[in-house]
Structure 1
Amino acid sequence: MVAGSFSIEIESPVEAKRLWKATLDTHNLLPKQAPGLISGITLLQGDGGVGTIRHVKFTPANKDFSYVKEKVDLIDEANMVYGFSHVEGGVLGKKVASVSYKIKYTPKPGGGCITTYSCNYDSLPGVPHDEAKIEEIKANSTGLFKQVEEYLIANPTLYC
């Protein structure tokens, strides 16, 4: 098993608090904002808080897998940090033994914020490191973030 991690930082003109509130509502927001990738998100257990299990269904545009079940591990309101891990589906059990994510929003003086998106994983024995796949995940994550960002810019009263 090989432990790995990566992170990306994205500068945004959108205020950290708005992005934070949108993150807490991703089960409603993402299927509307990324219908080409996400066909639906259902809360299987919980109300969105820590311990919530959500089922994310992908469209055929995601060629790697059709769904993932995620568990909300952390909601730190004061520091605007949101953490979740995969509990089923995705590449879990195929390429990785575990995977977890954290998203942190840091306000910038004068407006906007820096979003830090980090991932920690343990690959399964014998699965080689795939830097190209990690770069693809980073690009896809940034693209999804930019879709949400554009939506919030176009709708300045949402998540205020």
Structure 2
Amino acid sequence: MVVGSISHDIETPLEAKRLWNAFVKDGHNLLPKQAPELFASVTFLQGEGGVGSIKQINFTPANKDFSYVKEKVEEVDEEKFVYRYSHVEGGLLGKKVSSATYEFKYTPKPEGGCICSSVVHFDSLPGVPQDEEKVKEIKEMSTALFKKIEAYLIANPNLYC
């Protein structure tokens, strides 16, 4: 078993609050609309987005690794722009990992814009090595998705203010 983490930072000209509103508060609507090639739907099974809420994300066949994942919201800190959740079903659980927790933080920069930091903490299943090529692929895909949403928000400056 490998206990590990993967971190990734993206700098953006967008304000932290705007990204927070888009990704955290309305991501369940925004992602399927702006990236329908990846996200079939996002549905709250329990709660409305606060701590303890559970949502199911259904992916299109473009995601070859799994068709859905259920996430449980663990932390929502609107003052510090920190959002943390764990996978409770689907995804790579039981296939490659025994647990996975994700944390996103939007840190405002003094000159404007912010840094979007993400960290994934995971415990892999026994005998499953960390695949550096897969880590690189995941980072590239998440950056591409982020940049797509960033471009949409820049083109629509009155959204999520």
User: What TM-score does the superposition give when structure 1 sets the normalisation length?
Assistant: 0.98
The match for 1:88 is 89
Correspondence 1:94-113 to 2 at 5 A: 94-113=95-114
Quick one: distance in 1 between partners of 2:126 and 2:116?
Answer: 32
The match for 1:28 is 29
Correspondence 1:10-159 to 2 at 5 A: 10-23=10-23, 24-159=25-160
Quick one: distance in 2 between partners of 1:154 and 1:119?
Answer: 30
Task: State the Cα distance separating 1:2 from its structure 2 match.
Answer: 1.1
Size of the aligned set, in residue pairs, is: 160
Task: State the Cα distance separating 1:157 from its structure 2 match.
Answer: 0.6
Task: State the Cα distance separating 1:137 from its structure 2 match.
Answer: 1.1
Which residue identity lines up with residue 36 of structure 2 in the other structure?
A: P
Quick one: distance in 1 between partners of 2:108 and 2:6?
Answer: 22
Task: State the Cα distance separating 1:147 from its structure 2 match.
Answer: 1.3
Give the 4+ runs in structure 1 shifted more than 4 A: none
Task: State the Cα distance separating 1:66 from its structure 2 match.
Answer: 0.5
Which residue identity lines up with residue 21 of structure 1 in the other structure?
A: N
Task: State the Cα distance separating 1:94 from its structure 2 match.
Answer: 0.6
Quick one: distance in 2 between partners of 1:106 and 1:138?
Answer: 19
CA RMSD of aligned residues (A): 0.8
User: What TM-score does the superposition give when structure 2 sets the normalisation length?
Assistant: 0.97
Quick one: distance in 1 between partners of 2:153 and 2:103?
Answer: 21
Which residue identity lines up with residue 90 of structure 1 in the other structure?
A: G
Corresponding residue SS for 1:149: helix
Structure 2: gaps of 5 or more residues = none
- In the alignment, structure 1 residue 4 sits paired with structure 2 residue 13: no
Q: Percent identity?
A: 66
Task: State the Cα distance separating 1:110 from its structure 2 match.
Answer: 2.0
Structure 1: gaps of 5 or more residues = none
Deviations 1:33-77 (A, max 9, x none): 110000100100001111111010000000111000111111011
Task: State the Cα distance separating 1:120 from its structure 2 match.
Answer: 0.5
